[in-house]
Structure 1
Amino acid sequence: MQAFVLRVAPGEIDRLPEALESDQIIIGWANANGLLDKCLDWVGFREIVRATYYRGDKTLHRAGAAAGHLWRFIREMEEGDLVVVPYGSEFYIAEVVGEAIYLQDKKSEDTTYRRPVRWLNAKQPIPRSYAKSALISRMKIQGTSASATDLVDEIRDCLDIAASGTTPSFHSDLQNSLIARALNELQQGRIDSFGFENLIKNLLQNLGAKEARVVPRSQDKGADVVATFLVAETFPLVVAVQAKHWQPEPPVGRQVIDQLVSGMEAESADLGMVITTGTFSDDAVRAANEFLESAGKKIELVDGEQFAKMIVEHGTGDS
């Protein structure tokens, strides 16, 4: 079984109510006709998307990203796979039951590409608080879709909790209480910006970083913490982190994303993270998405609640 995360909002228009009513999932790029042709290889598939939407681009970043979402939707999804659809503070889960289709009469709405699904949990939303931090992070995709096959067990757990129909257990009550307490301590407790950076460093080591260091303020070029993970114990993946020990208001804005981009360039980082004790503005989310489209590198945005959950699940190391 595979699993995917999908935002059902082509053209930034919420289409989830229609998707629930029609028992379908929906993706955009409706003008890129002909993508259901199984004879197309990846290059031909991407070229249709490029010629339709990104003809003037000097690089293939945006065309490749858009084609990747469509390829995942049309070619990779199979019957029986799970699809998680984020929706505000909740999410829905569906099971794929058929192949992708193209509805010509929906072209003006940018909703031609669809897949039939069976909505699970009786079409009822599931609170994000039921999910573990890894699934919460995956649901914060900046693009349209992402693979989540590594999180199948977590997705099934959410369905089991939702289907139980019971009141929250002692374990869940305790965990939620610890998360709330951790968030309060992060925002109001005896920790300053230096302590916050060290806390992030220790957490990244707990998450498997082979090396993590706090960048001295005198050498700060936009990244406060730099960590190196080894993929398959061979390939180094460098993560640059911007740490913002802020209160919930005002939210972290676009300027912080710009600072991190400079830090990623200086550290030759493969991925970026902004971790805050507060929240993020819509402008910051857009800036991270724009960087993904232009540079092909992702910036993960971790707000205070998610960071508190990570602490509860993975510990604080030696801080």
Structure 2
Amino acid sequence: MALFAPLADGSSMPNIYAYRLAPSAIDRVVELLEDNQIAIGWSELDEQTALSSSSTKDEIRQKLTALYPQLAAQKRITHGTNQVWRFTQELRVGDIVIVPHLGKAHFLRVTGTPIYLRHKVKDDTAIRRDICKLQTIAISDLPNAIRQGLVFRGHASVTLEHIKDDVLDFLGLDPEILAEEEEAARAEKLMNEAMGSYVIPAKDEIIVTRKHAHVSEALIRHLQAKGLKVVNTRTGGLAPDLCTVCATDPMLFEIKTGYGSGDYLKALGQLLFYEKLRGRTYRKLLVAPTGIRQLAISILADFNIGIIEYTETDGSFSFSWQ
């Protein structure tokens, strides 16, 4: 599983927000982050209205007006409506939330859809979302653009789209790799829906040699030495062994530890299948030990499958592109 959960709605880039986590003007940062959650407040709002994807802004506004007449008199209902809408409707799984608190900035990634905890209504933290923690950094150590973005008053949250590139760069998130991870996740979801569930009967224990993993690790180093961006998108066993991220010449790699007919026939099907599933054109490459016959190589070439042969010497691998 990738460290950064892919987005859930088809967009390849996360949105960036800053949140205070102080519902009813009470600091709840520590307790919420201990629960690996964030909350928005406005907990008197009923669960159905708060969580339903069919709720409209006008419905939320009307409910909040009835539930919080004192805030309506202070003309704060529009603010509350916008905050609830952002938290429940706009904030997506995969988005990044930054919480400034006591001189530190907590970088979080949203991992769950909105939930409603009835026993937290009194604390005004009933409307929540699950998160995972990425980093906690002293605000003084942040780049100037991010520090400035975290200066906001009078709002429970703000969007930081204007410094998205700064945040992704600071966190070391490559937008192309994020997009590649998301694409693999969509492919896995599609396959799971198409295939359904099945049972694999128990088998006797066997010892598995990690030759495939050793070849994969060596190939990654080989490709990176060529200046290529490499991702391992083998999510759920439903994606190629390796991909390179490149706008003009993306590549798919299928690694085999043998060179028999079963190996290259299986690789042929996998590479063609994955390319079709992803809906884009790739340079497709079979990575196998030296020994594939020339006839097989020429037939694979007719399917636009290239060959990378590898040899192993004392645990080290060398690769030859055919």
Question: Where on the TM-score scale, by shorter chain, does this alignment land: which range?
Answer: 0.3 to 0.5
Q: Larger radius of gyration, structure 1 or 2?
A: 2
* TM-score normalized by the length of structure 1: 0.46
TM-score, normalised to structure 2's length? 0.46
